[in-house]
Chains A and B, each alone.
Chain A
Amino acid sequence: MLTIEQAIATFGVTVDEHLDRQAEIPVLSGLQFQGDVAVVPVTASPARTPIPAEGVPVVRGQAQANTHLLVATGPAFFTPDRSGRALTLGVLTVEEGATAYLAHPEHAYAGIAPGTYELRRQREQADQTRLVAD
């Protein structure tokens, strides 16, 4: 398991100064949330597009400050959703031996174990349902 300090050194996404640099990042295969993004384990055909070294900004925050960046150590794949379903960001597949991370300046890192997942946004009820930006 990486500590936040090691993850910052590996992926280059710094996090807020008050967050404990020595804390280990749990690597989970179940449902987890990073703010307004959900990592939902699914039974689906695996993603086939490799996550590039610079990562995939699955949610771009305003002014880059709140971007959820998907990164990985080892083979991991992400296929952005093109179906137009509002909440679905895409499918993530983490191969055996690999770990994916969602990196965010305020929420730090979320570790994702091998498996296939759907990444989703959070929504609110409004005149038209709108996405949450945290």
Chain B
Amino acid sequence: MNTPLVEEEQAFEAAARARYQEIGVPFPDRVVRVSSPLAGTFAAPIAACLATGHRNRRVLDSVLRAVDDTAGERIGRAVRDAVEAATAGPARGSVHGAAATALHADLPAARGRAKRDDLWDTVNEAVDADLRAAVEAAVGGARQDTIRGEIRRLWRARLPAAGVWWWWPFRDFVLFCPPPSDVHREPAGEDETARPRLHRADGPAVAWEDGFGLCFWRGTHVPRAVVDDTLTADEIIREPNAEIRRCAIERRGWDRFVIEARLDQIGPAVPDPGNPGQTLTLHDVPPGVYPTNVRVLLCTNGTVERDGTRRRFGLTVPAACTDPIEAAAWTYGLTPAQYAQAQRRS
């Protein structure tokens, strides 16, 4: 935990010191870097409860076990390390217990508005959502005691003046977490001026060193299972959030989803004009599955892939389309008669 302060960390600490000064509280000696916002979310309240004399080890251990069980043992270890660093060692004078009061309530009022950045706003919102879910998963059960209540109360704090740093300021210690080092973006469109959006298909788009990460599919914050592509078709259909459902279907690919979800085929398969040996099929999409009322046209690429197969893919078309040729023609703004004349697809 004694990593030498880099420039950004020094800037963060200066900003943090200024905040303490504004409210007339001495800056604590114990400044502890945590490995992720999730580790800080659990470590800060636990350390605060320890420092204030809430030393019921049985309760504390049950919380740590709940973290192990729900967030994973890697996070659990990171939480234990941070708690140790924030509370171990000689207490600072006689105030060490009683004064370890959280400063959150005072600090937000003393701060100005952070510099606006849409991408980081998105990261922030996603972190908040995932932390809230993690806290609820770990300590959201019916049994509430002090530390559980504290965790639910104290899990979130951030110092806006220093960018995307998470921090948990107390009288006796400060926990902080730097911004994520691993951030995956993609262009939001073909327009070179389009703002990039968060996206990664093979893992979290935003990741911290202890494994905590945020998953994004083309700019939409999604559960890990969407990116890992592990949901069943039924689970996708039952997902209450329409945008997440749409992302899960895109991730799966309509070609697979149509089969797995047993979407009804409209009429027979027809040969794809200009694409010898390949067919087009049109499928119904029941209401509530996709955010828009659509049908799906399954097509096959005109060019073979490296492995000798041809890529199958689905395109959403208006629900009014009644046969595959009409649907395929619509995608290019052609009449069905025009589309039927196609000579080649490459």
Which residues of A are found within 8 Å of B344, using beta-carbon distances?
26, 28, 32-33, 110
A31, B346: Cβ atoms closer than 8 Å: no
Kindly provide the distance from the CB of B320 to the nearest chain A CB, expressed in whole angstroms: 10
Instruction: Give 1 or 0 for each of B183-201: 1 = CB within 8 Å of chain A CB.
Output: 0001100101000000000
Closest chain-B Cβ to A4's Cβ sits at a distance in Å of 11
Given the known A-B contacts A30-B343, A106-B303, are A38 and B274 also in contact in the complex, defined by CB atoms under 8 Å? no
Please, how many angstroms separate the alpha-carbon atoms of A132 and B291 in the complex? 18
B331 touches A61 (CB 8 A): no
Q: How far is the CA of A126 from the CA of B186 in the complex (A)?
A: 20
Check B306–A31 contact: CB distance below 8 A: no
Interface-side segment among B21-29, B79-87, B91-99, B310-318: B310-318
Is B345 close to A, CB under 8 A? Answer: yes
Chain B residues positioned under 8 Å from A123 (CB to CB)? 331-333
A31-B343, A32-B345, A62-B190 known; A132-B302 Cβ under 8 A:
no
B303 and A122: CB pair below 8 A?
A: no
Contact A62 B187 (CB under 8 A): yes
In the assembled complex, which residues on chain A have CB atoms less than 8 Å from the CB atom of B291? 127
Q: Which of A16, A33, A110, A122 has the most CB of B within 10 A?
A: A33
Name the residue on B nearest A86 (C-beta).
Answer: B333
Given A120-B332, A127-B292, A31 contacting B342 (CB threshold 8 A): yes
A31/B331 in contact, CB under 8 A: no
Contacts of A34 in B (CB 8 A): 302, 345-346
Q: Which chain B residues numbered 295 to 343 have a C-beta less than 8 Å away from chain A?
A: 301-306, 313, 315-319, 331-334, 338-339, 341-343
Interface size class of B (residues with CB under 8 A): 20 to 34
Give the residues in chain B near A33, CB-CB below 8 Å. 274, 302, 332, 342, 344-346
Residues in B neighbouring A61, C-beta threshold 8 A: 190
Interface of A is mostly: loop
Write the nearest CB–CB distance from B302 to chain A, whole angstroms.
Answer: 7
A80-134 interface (Cβ within 8 A of B): 87-88, 106-110, 120-127, 132-134
Q: A32-B345, A62-B187 are in contact. Are A125 and B306 (CB under 8 A)?
A: no
- Give the total of A residues in contact with B, Cβ under 8 Å: 37
- Distance in angstroms from A80 CB to nearest chain B CB is 14
Contacts of B192 in A (CB 8 A): 60
| With contact pairs A18-B304, A87-B333, A120-B333 given, residues A126 and B292 touching in the complex (Cβ less than 8 Å) | yes
A125 and B316 contact, CB distance less than 8 A? yes
Contact status B190-A122, CB under 8 Å: no
For B334, list chain A residues within 8 Å (CB): 31, 38, 40
B32 interface contact, C-beta 8 A: no
**Residue A59 is within 8 A (CB to CB) of chain B in the complex:** yes
B38 located at the interface, meaning its Cβ lies under 8 Å from any Cβ of chain A in the complex: no
B294 interface residue (CB < 8 Å to A): yes
List CB contacts (< 8 Å) of B92-126 with chain A. none
A residues contacting B by CB (< 8 A) are: 16-19, 26, 28, 30-35, 38, 40, 59-63, 87-88, 106-110, 120-127, 132-134
10 contacts between A and B (CB under 8 A): A17-B306, A30-B343, A33-B345, A33-B346, A34-B346, A35-B346, A40-B332, A62-B190, A108-B346, A122-B332
